[in-house]
Amino acid sequence: MKRMASCDPITATVTSMAADKLDADLRQPSFTFDVAFLLGGPKKETDEGIGVLSFGVMLPNPSFWVQLIGFLALGVVLGYVVAIINYNLIIKRRGLQDSSCSYVRKVEKYLVGSISISLCLVFPYLVIWTFNVRNMIIKFCVATIMPVLTIFHTMEAMFGTSPPCVESTMGRYALYSSSPLEVCFDQTTCRPITVKLKQTLEAARAFGLALVVLGMYQSTLGPMGYEPFTTMQAPLDSMDHTIRDLFSFGHLVNNLVAALLLQLYLTAFCLGLKVVTNIIVGVETKDVMSNAIFRSSSPSDFWGKKWNTLIHGVLKRAVFKPAVRHFPKSMAATAAFFASGLFHEWILSAIFFVHDYEKDEDGQCKLCYHPSYGRNLLFFVINAIIIAVEYYVGEWYIFLWIKKCLPRFLVSILVVSTALPFAHLFTSDYIKSDYFYHGQIGFPLVILLT
């Protein structure tokens, strides 16, 4: 199928903006330094004029962030359109229900909700195909930030579990549904809380620091493929690991490296979103990441209060609360983890979307990375089991003593270790593909020149 030329100015503008495909790091060092010379030694140069231990520093590619903001704007439009549909055809009509037509109202509600969800499911593929998006990080953001949130916002509207205040007016609901982060509302007046300049500056400072930290992390571990330990076990993206493999030191450290990399990425991008939202919209938004790997006191604290609280919030309202009306809490929590696994599987299909020009005569792309579906779902089911076990044994004396007497850092490492043997089920497709190679384009990077 060939793309049709469009005279639409919006499409033309976005297409022009996305001309740099960002699927190869073509940056050149902005400046270099020689370690031996800086330490007081002689500056011995090669024939190319480069020191024997020279490094180059590459600055972030601005096009990466410009495209990210541009595609985010398209997602905001999606959220706004779906908000109008949901508010007028689901929320406003909720009070019109009566016993004589309750069944018809329910059918209507689920039909409208299905249409809204279908729009969100189609949106990423349409954008990726139309604008020939190749960078995997941008594909991830196109699929994740607004479509996933809007799907769960739609489910909240269907089940009547939206946060307090957001459904009080159409404007407030549209603001809530089209924001990439959860907006804070004053619980007394139900008005969105205006952000202070000090908060925006603090978020900008934290974002700048996150850029540097992540850049250094990628500069150090990227050349190793984020697998500093070579293991003699099954490949990272395999399902053939033995029990011994899962608990081997090298495997656990490699998984920790990958988990920390994901945490740094999520932290950096969420801080960036916070800065953009604060500046453009001028409202206060909730924090998303709280250093979960090093500050968690239990598995439920990790998933519920520290790691990606934005997604935790929508899963709790859209899946857990409706489910707990009919099932025990343990089953409702499992349903939330299952839903998380499903949408992460769907995200993989967007990240590794294969364009027509990449396919051969048989319709296959032999050079493309093909993810292993089902592993993300299995990872989240395992974590649901861990949470269920915590529910029954979390108050045992030994665990209370650990939380009270051991250093917070050590407690958190023990918490993370409950899922660490299985973390490769979630991280392997990202580590083994060009996902983080595409991501480093947007961050400062130090490279060895000699």
Q: Calculate the CA dihedral of residues 198, 204, 205, 211 and round it to 10 degrees.
A: 170
In 211-236, which positions are buried (b, 16+ CB within 10 angstroms) versus exposed (e)?
beebbebbbebbeeebbeeebeeeeb
What is the identity of the amino acid at 43? K
Rounded Cα gap, residues 203 and 207, in angstroms: 6
Contacts of 355 (CB under 8 A, 6+ apart): 129, 132, 134
Give Cα separations from 89 to 96, 249, 312 (angstroms): 11, 55, 26
Contacts of 373 (CB under 8 A, 6+ apart): 345, 348, 349
Give the full edge-to-edge strand order of the sheet including 54-58. 31-34, 54-58, 445-448
pLDDT 10s per residue in the chain (450 long)?
A: 445 444 565 555 556 666 789 999 999 999 988 876 666 555 555 555 555 678 999 999 999 999 999 999 999 999 999 999 999 999 998 866 555 567 677 888 999 999 999 999 999 999 999 999 999 999 999 999 999 999 999 999 999 999 999 999 999 999 999 999 999 999 999 999 999 999 999 999 999 999 999 999 999 999 999 999 987 677 777 788 889 989 999 999 999 999 999 999 999 999 999 999 999 999 999 999 999 999 999 999 999 999 999 999 999 999 999 999 999 999 999 999 999 999 999 999 999 999 988 998 888 998 899 999 999 999 999 999 999 999 999 899 999 999 999 999 999 999 999 999 999 999 999 999 999 999 999 999 999 987
Question: What pTM value is reported for the model?
Answer: 0.92
Give Cα separations from 299 to 349, 389, 395, 415 (angstroms): 28, 10, 13, 6
Q: Which residues pair with 185 in a beta bridge?
A: 192
Give pLDDT tens digits for 138-195.
999 999 999 999 999 999 999 999 999 999 999 999 999 999 999 999 999 999 999 9
- Looking up tokens 């954008």 gives 127
Give pLDDT tens digits for 101-113.
676 778 889 999 9
